[in-house]
């Protein structure tokens, strides 16, 4: 697997709590946009990130963003 699977064609708006999060990079997770461990055995690893404070955000599901885990509008070109 050299390309991530597109899990969606639009971002998901989420309310993120302060603390650690893991964004699905492979596209196989059933709990998009977050990692559920489905990457195991493949070439992708989740993007782990930590927030000092909670916030709302649009997280990428198409897996083509250049600003992971956040949507950068790349899905519009799919």
In whole angstroms, give the CA distance from residue 54 to residue 16. Answer: 5
Rg (Cα) of the chain, in Å, rounded?
Answer: 12
What is the distance, to the nearest Å, from the Cα of residue 51 to the centroid of all Cα atoms in its chain?
15
Site string for ligand FES, 54-73 (x = CB under 6 A): ------xxx-xx-----xxx
Smallest separation (angstroms) from ligand FES to the CB of 37: 21
| Chain residues 11-30 in contact with ligand FES, contact rule CB under 6 A | 11
Residues that bind ligand FES (CB under 6 A): 10-11, 60-62, 64-65, 71-75
């Amino acid at each position: 697997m050299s390309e991530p699977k597109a899990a969606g064609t639009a971002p998901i708006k989420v309310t993120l709590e302060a603390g650690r999060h893991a964004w699905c990079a492979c596209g196989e997770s059933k709990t998009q946009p977050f990692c559920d461990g489905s990457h195991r055995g493949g070439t992708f690893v989740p993007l782990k990130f930590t927030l000092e404070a909670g916030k709302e955000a649009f997280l990428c599901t198409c897996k083509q963003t250049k600003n992971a885990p956040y949507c950068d509008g790349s899905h519009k070109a799919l």
